[in-house]
Structure 1
Amino acid sequence: MARSEPVIVIVPGLRDHVAQHWQTLLETRLRAQNRPVAAVPPMGRDDLDCAARVEAIEAVVARIDAPVIIVAHSGGCVMVAHWARRYPRAIAGALLAAPPDFEAAMPEGYPTLEALDASGWLPVPRAPLPFPSIVAASHNDPLARYERVLELARAWRSELVDLGNVGHLNPASGFGEWPGADDLIAALMRRAEQDALETSRRI
């Protein structure tokens, strides 16, 4: 029998799971509360194969017999967009935090445009996502101008949440815990419950 509570699926960015990252802390907290959570396994920061990462998301989601809410950060957001194009599943929703602009040169130490293109990331999908989504954007993210993230949110037909100046929303920007994630996940859960109720009324 399917579980009614959505499973939170953590999709990290290209740098994978980091001990003090808010995604890692969120996963640990949910497990301690015995709430359903799963995570896309680490693939190594040097493995840029976009197709392999898409398949890693699908491998996790495909075995879940319950509603799914994806919680992605950074490059994980772009992974989700590619996954949604390859596997257009009607999941309960997705929180897409601080998506990077893979179509502009990023700071030194991050993948080059040439490397991203060769690994299948470009162009970044801009088709509307087939599920409710929230894009959480920062005004001073070193990996994407706010205006570019706004363009992505519009293309994906995502709700945009303005986080203000939070950098890239990672430990280097002072995060640790990100309590706001819980509120946005709860908003997606409420929407999923409302959509399920409306569907049942139409049947």
Structure 2
Amino acid sequence: MKTVIARYKTVKTQLFQHPFRYDTGKKDGKGRGIWAQIYRDLTWLWQPINFKRPQLDLQRGRDWSYLSATNQLSLNTLNGRRKVDFVCKGFDQYLDQTKWKFGSLKMLQLRGKWYIHLSATTAIPEFEAEQAVHVVGIDRGLRFLAACYDEKGKSILFSGQKILRKRRKYKKLRAELQAKGTKSAKRRLKKIGQRENRWMSDVNHRLTKTLIDHYGSNTIYALEDL
């Protein structure tokens, strides 16, 4: 139930952030068309949200538990409690319950196999300023995705021109599809929006990884308001 509610909240936010724009048929003083927009809500959905891949959320203690002695998962099913083996590559360190505290577990099926997403938390000592090896100020923008300046007076600039051109291309394509207003155009509009979000997330992820690899651990990053 929580998964379904969360998905509807996400879709509601996405709909509101992308209002429906249409041509009013009127002209302004310069002869250009006047556009209007309507903020969308869940009533704009063509059909209820459905989940193509089977998935479920399990609460620790009630629905699932980890058996460290046998390295198995104990799952609560409609046919009673079942113990199952699982493959854990590269994440064995997180199964140490003396260091990590388990939370909820999500199971989902992909290509005939079941996968689990397990949340685990641990307490770490507070970071002291004396431990810092580098102090880096980062200013974000459009012309430069990030402009970095460290304590040694050295700067690193990440050009955003290529990103800017691609975003303009997406903006122009969205405007053309919104002007059409057909069902096929709306479907294409939705796919384009998701594609652009994934692409931008990947760009930000690669930029973040580059900064971490360059400056290393024990670095303090100051963002904006420099």
TM range (shorter): under 0.3
Normalized per residue, the structure richer in strand is 2
TM-score by length of 2: 0.22
TM-score by length of 1: 0.24
